[in-house]
Amino acid sequence: MTNSRATILVPGRINPRVTERLSARFDLVAVPHGPDLEISAEDAERIRAIAVSGALPANWIARLPRLEMIASFGVGYDGVDVRAAAARGVVVSNTPDVLNDEVADTAIALLLNTVRQLPQAETWLRNGRWASEGPFPLSPLSLKGRHVGIHGLGRIGLEIARRLEPFKVKISYCTRRPRPDVGYCHFPTLLGLAEAVDTLISIVPKTPETIGAIDAEVLRALGPRGVLINVGRGTTVDEPALIAALKAGTIAAAGLDVFMNEPQVPQDLIDLPNVSLLPHVASASVPTRNAMADLVVDNLIAWFDTGRALTPVPETPQKT
């Protein structure tokens, strides 16, 4: 398995630390990132691994006869066709854990921004309105006394919950099965969770079950004091239903770091005064992105040194 100059495919953009480190150890082939793999048959024959940020469809995998491994940049890997990879015996790795703290911190910041309207207050000051018009209006919402429901209590969801505890809010969660290692109240359905809480934080991956899961019914259940925070996947939220709910007062406010069709954000969301919006930056700090980049590279080095990736995804188990 050892080959110090194996060839690795790099589609489109990826953190430059990945290519800097990989180039010292491997031969790299850079190609555009698109629906079809633009590569010669000769280069396709050389490729033994891929370092990718974003989507990797089955037709790309099919073009590479010697492909052994796909190292995905990010904890979420729903853009990679893992079924096609598994069918070929190709191992897929991701970058879990190294971004947990950053995303959890951002979720709490987004929640505070949303309920206390802190970005709007800063804009009020910067535009000179404090001096010319007086104090910023009182925020209609507060975090005090809230019941927060976490949609997904995986690694990041648990970090969010731990950060919420000092705020003295009640915490519940929704997962398919209860976690025996926490004392929070478990709800087996998202609707049941939404009916019980007034604040919903979503941190679930994109799966067939989660697409559009936060729909008009869930938003109605959340109620007129309800606050929705999404730092998971934009596909989880029915955006037209959310816009309608925010306009009608069905819920009070929303804070979003992810969107259905990034980087396109509906103008209706941008225009709403009761929304806090971020451009998908939950893990976007230099230290965290460097740690993610290092894990991509370290996975590839481990594969070619030992035949085992460090953080393979469960759908593509490694041979023992």
- Residue 171 DSSP SS3: strand
Catalytic residue, chosen from 17, 88, 147, 280, is 280
307: left (phi over 0), alpha (psi -120 to 50) or beta: left
Q: Name, in order, each residue with C-beta under 8 angstroms of 74's C-beta and a sequence gap of 6 or more.
A: 53, 94, 95, 292
Tokens representing 138 are 């009182």
Q: Based on the residue annotation, tell me whether 25 is a catalytic residue of this protein.
A: no
Catalytic residue, chosen from 262, 289, 308, 315, is 262
Q: Based on the residue annotation, tell me whether 280 is a catalytic residue of this protein.
A: yes
- Which residue carries 């990718």 as its tokens? 52
- Cis peptide bond prior to 240, omega within 30° of 0: no
Q: Based on the residue annotation, tell me whether 147 is a catalytic residue of this protein.
A: no
**DSSP characters over 53-92:** SS-B-HHHHHT-TT--EEEESSS--TTB-HHHHHHHT-EE
Q: What angle do CA 280, 316, 58 make, to 5 degrees?
A: 70
- Which residue carries 């309800």 as its tokens? 226
Tokens representing 244 are 């309608």
Catalytic residue, chosen from 33, 151, 233, 289, is 233
Q: Name, in order, each residue with C-beta under 8 angstroms of 246's C-beta and a sequence gap of 6 or more.
A: 253, 254, 272, 274, 275
Rounded-to-integer distance, Cα 282 and Cα 290, Å: 14
Q: Which residues are catalytic?
A: 233, 262, 280
